[in-house]
Amino acid sequence: MSNERLRRVIANAGMSLADVAGQVGADPKTVERWITQNRLPHPRLRTATAAALGVDEVYLWPESTESPQARSASGAELVRIYPNRGAVPAEYWYECIENATENIDLLAYSCTFLMDGHDNIGKVLTERAGQGVQIRILVGDPDSEAVFLRGDEEGIGDHMAARCSLSAGYLRDAYGVSGISIRKHGTTLYNSIYRFDNDIMVNTHAYGIQAGSNPVMHFRKVPGGQLFDHYVQSFDNVWAKSKAQRKPAERRRPRR
């Protein structure tokens, strides 16, 4: 049985077998056997090939997750499951922000729980960016159909869109800062994702239940594991479809 997924992805990428082989350091005949004989490459070559083709490794080789090593590594990535977001100690979120040295990625619709508890969040993020941390923030587009639909599903109506706009305002001090990118998105939010270097917090979503009442899974990157990278890929997928978020205009106090 051949690996038609791999064949199709290579073709869609406009690459030849020799192109793939050259990028990952394999022989073209070996790459051909990956397709025609459905051979499972060495883990290093699987990772390199998936990266070169811009797809998830598990999509190309689902059977790679069946090895005891892969299962063990992925299991080791799970640090803890919290029954709801409120069970995560409030100070832990800010410790993660303040201790990050490389990456902070935030994906949500509003993320107001972080900002309500830390009203100078824009300045804090600016300080982290000044220390070399690369920060990407995705907030919901208040005019998108997805945000309006989520508001209806959670029973809060237009308040969901209002929360998205509120978040954009909370981040006012972070706009235009080198190392910080803020975008808006209108994608279906299957999970809210909060990444701090090699730790990632995934707030799952259940239909009709507000985000704060849903479980949070804490993963930490482990060599050979797949779950951390899985959710980083999800973040990147939304990032690729997002649009630049403009700095909200300041409202002037009406004259009396």
* Domains annotated on the chain, with CATH: 4-66 (1.10.260.40), 75-244 (3.30.870.10)
Instruction: Classify 190 as helix, strand or coil.
Output: coil
Q: Does residue 115 surpass a pLDDT of 80?
A: yes
Strand partners, 220: 199
Tokens 């993020």 found at: 125
Q: Does residue 250 surpass a pLDDT of 70?
A: no
Q: 220-249: buried (b, 16+ CB within 10 Å) or exposed (e) per residue?
A: bbbeebbbbbbbbbbbeebeeebeebeeee
Q: Is 107 exposed, middle or buried (0-12, 13-18, 19+ CB in 10 A)?
A: buried
Per-residue model confidence (pLDDT) at position 58? 78
Tens of pLDDT, residues 233-245? 999 999 999 998 8
Q: Does residue 113 surpass a pLDDT of 60?
A: yes
Percent of the chain with pLDDT over 70: 91
Per-residue model confidence (pLDDT) at position 244? 86
CA atoms within 13 A on the CB side of 145: 0
Per-residue model confidence (pLDDT) at position 119? 67
Per-residue model confidence (pLDDT) at position 242? 95
> Contact 123/115 with Cβ under 8 angstroms?
no
Per-residue model confidence (pLDDT) at position 235? 96
Q: Does residue 254 surpass a pLDDT of 70?
A: no
Strands 134-140 and 103-107 come out as parallel
- Residues whose CB is less than 8 angstroms from the CB of residue 136 and which lie 6 or more positions away in sequence, other chains included: 103, 104, 105, 106, 181, 183, 235, 239
What is the distance between the alpha carbons of residues 35 and 125, in angstroms, rounded to a whole number? 46
Q: 171-188: buried (b, 16+ CB within 10 Å) or exposed (e) per residue?
A: bebbbebebbbbbbbbbe
Across the range 34-62, mean pLDDT stands at: 89
Across the range 70-87, mean pLDDT stands at: 82
Per-residue model confidence (pLDDT) at position 168? 83
Please give the DSSP secondary-structure letter assigned to residue 61. Answer: -
Mean per-residue pLDDT of the chain? 89
Strand partners, 27: none
